[in-house]
Amino acid sequence: MGVVAVVLAVVVGLGLYSANVFQERTKFVPAKIFEAAFDEPVSRAENMVGVKDDSYQYDVYLKFKYPHKPIHKFQSEFKTAWNLEARNWFNEKFPNDEGLKKLEHLDFCSRQKNDPTLVTNEWILYNKLTDDVYYRIFGTSR
């Protein structure tokens, strides 16, 4: 009887430990997304808000203030583009946000990475006047 109780206690303990480790590894931390994307100190980002949506594809977006347009780790792979699509998408997420109101102040660049099993897109929308940064990384499996 004592051996069964010890084995049962060990199994329950391992189960709780595994669940805790899994939860900790999958916990969404906006600062980690920033650090993975940008070659800049996260400590300079202010008022960071982040959302992760795994409903049908991988989709993460951040909004924060930064004293300049942050440099992405793969900056050379980004291309400048018209900002309207990104501005409209972020406007749905942050309605009436001051940083999204004037298109002429918005710099937009994007990159797309095509791997055999995954397509990843990244957007950086930066407001030169308000220093608001809107960042999105999203992808789909092939």
| pLDDT tens figures, 68-124 | 999 999 999 999 989 999 999 999 999 999 999 999 999 999 999 998 888 899 999
In whole angstroms, give the CA distance from residue 38 to residue 53: 20
Q: Where are the alpha helices (DSSP H) in 69-115?
A: 84-93
- Whole-number pLDDT of residue 60: 95
| pLDDT tens figures, 14-60 | 544 444 444 444 578 999 999 999 999 999 999 999 999 877 788 99
- Do 108 and 124 meet the contact criterion of CB atoms below 8 Å apart? yes
The identity of residue 78, as a single letter, is: F
